[in-house]
Amino acid sequence: MNEPNPTPGRGTIRVPTSSGWPLVAAFGFSLGFAGLLTHWMVSILGLVCLASGLVGWFREVLPEEAEAEVPLEPVPAPVAVSAAGVRHLEVGEQGHRGRFPLQRHPYSAGLRGGLVGGTAMAVLAILYGVVAQRSVWYPINLLAASASATLSGMSDDQLRAFQPSGLVLALIIHGIGSALVGLLYGIALPMFPRRPVLLGGVLAPLFWTGLLHSGLGVINPALQARIDWLWFFAAQVAFGMVAGFVVARRERIATLQFVPFAMRAGIEATMDSKRNLPPEGGPLP
């Protein structure tokens, strides 16, 4: 009874107990950064949650890790090995499980489509600045204001002027965001093979615009009041149409259906891994 880790009983095994403290710590970490765009009290609350989560987490693993006993299942009877040959099922045959889509675009296609689509969106945004605000720098500074409290507090006249920090911040936000969304397009579009441009050019921009319109009023009401949502939606459609067109034109490659995740992710490889790979340009194994 005085031992910190008593020996488990027969037919059981010790495993680490589940804990919700890592989730609390992650939630506090997210709130800490969310406060940079909302209010400093949100960051304070995030730091409190983060500290509480870390303390609770560490207390469950230090100095002794909390464990629970789990009953072992009985060992099944050995399977008789037959010398007969094995017939491999094709993907989808007789309910055989397969990874869908069977073919996908290379990741480079998504990144390229995102950058080209981002260029089209930037052209339309600058056109909005010239037509509606009589300034090329207004949409650039407005984008940078989403991550800068200083720019967010500026007047419209100040946003129409050239701001070096706004230009650098907008280039970073727009470049990274376009590349990531383009990568998402490259992954998602093969799941909708019939109308890829419709998904990327209409449905995705409509969903994204509605999500931002409903959430930005809570996160940053001052920024929401300055956005022309009609032009914003048009820019999103331009991005989606161009990115979807660029991604859809790239030739698809076969997915690795029967290769373990560690090998597909490039973490490890075995001497027999080449036998599981489909030949270049050929059908799946």
Q: What is the pLDDT of residues 216-239, one digit of tens each?
A: 777 777 677 888 888 888 888 888
Mean pLDDT throughout 107-131?
89
Rounded Cα–Cα distance for residues 284 and 213 (Å) = 44
Mean pLDDT throughout 87-95?
58
Rounded Cα–Cα distance for residues 235 and 184 (Å) = 18
Q: Kindly indicate the confidence band of residue 193, based on its pLDDT and cuts at 50, 70 and 90.
A: low
Q: What tokens were used for 170? A: 């907008």
Residue 13 β-bridge partners: 70
236 vs 263: which has the higher pLDDT: 236
Q: Of 1, 2, 21, 17, which is closest to residue 69 (Cα–Cα)?
A: 17
Q: Kindly indicate the confidence band of residue 2, based on its pLDDT and cuts at 50, 70 and 90.
A: very low
pLDDT per residue as tens digits for the range 28-44: 999 888 888 888 888 89
Q: Kindly indicate the confidence band of residue 59, based on its pLDDT and cuts at 50, 70 and 90.
A: confident
Of the candidate ranges 16-25, 180-189, 263-272, the one whose mean pLDDT is the lowest = 263-272
- In degrees and rounded to multiples of 5, residue 123 shows phi and psi of -60, -45
Q: What pLDDT sits at residue 260?
A: 59
Q: Kindly indicate the confidence band of residue 272, based on its pLDDT and cuts at 50, 70 and 90.
A: very low
Q: In the predicted model, what is the mean pLDDT of the chain? A: 77
Task: Answer yes or no: are the C-beta atoms of 186 and 111 closer than 8 Å.
Answer: yes
pLDDT per residue as tens digits for the range 124-183: 999 999 998 889 999 998 888 888 888 888 888 898 999 998 899 999 999 998 899 888
Q: Of the spans 39-53, 82-96, 250-264, which averages the highest pLDDT?
A: 39-53
User: What region does 73 belong to: left with phi over 0, alpha with psi -120 to 50, or beta?
Assistant: beta
Q: What tokens were used for 77? A: 């009877």
Of the candidate ranges 61-75, 92-106, 174-188, 257-271, the one whose mean pLDDT is the lowest = 257-271
- In degrees and rounded to multiples of 5, residue 12 shows phi and psi of -130, 165
Q: What pLDDT sits at residue 273?
A: 41
Query: For helices 107-128 and 164-188, what crossing angle results, to 10°?
Result: 140
Q: Kindly indicate the confidence band of residue 196, based on its pLDDT and cuts at 50, 70 and 90.
A: low
Of the candidate ranges 16-30, 89-103, 127-141, 232-246, the one whose mean pLDDT is the lowest = 89-103
Rounded Cα–Cα distance for residues 218 and 82 (Å) = 65
Q: What tokens were used for 41? A: 């009290």
Domain with CATH 1.10.287 in the chain: 12-71
Q: Kindly indicate the confidence band of residue 1, based on its pLDDT and cuts at 50, 70 and 90.
A: very low
Alpha-helical segments (H) within the chain:
21-34, 40-61, 107-128, 137-144, 149-152, 156-160, 164-188, 196-198, 204-219, 221-226, 229-249, 261-264, 273-276
Mean pLDDT throughout 51-73?
82
DSSP state of 15: E
H or E stretch at 70: strand 67-71
Rounded Cα–Cα distance for residues 146 and 170 (Å) = 9
121 vs 72: which has the higher pLDDT: 121
Q: What tokens were used for 153? A: 């507090």
Q: Is the pLDDT of residue 6 over 60?
A: no
Q: What tokens were used for 106? A: 């290379």
CA distances from 281 to 206, 251, 252, 276, 285 (A): 36, 11, 10, 14, 12
Question: What's CA 160's distance to the chain center, in Å?
Answer: 33
Q: What tokens were used for 115? A: 């950058």
Q: Is the pLDDT of residue 277 over 70?
A: no
12-71 topology per CATH: Helix Hairpins (1.10.287)
Q: Kindly indicate the confidence band of residue 94, based on its pLDDT and cuts at 50, 70 and 90.
A: low
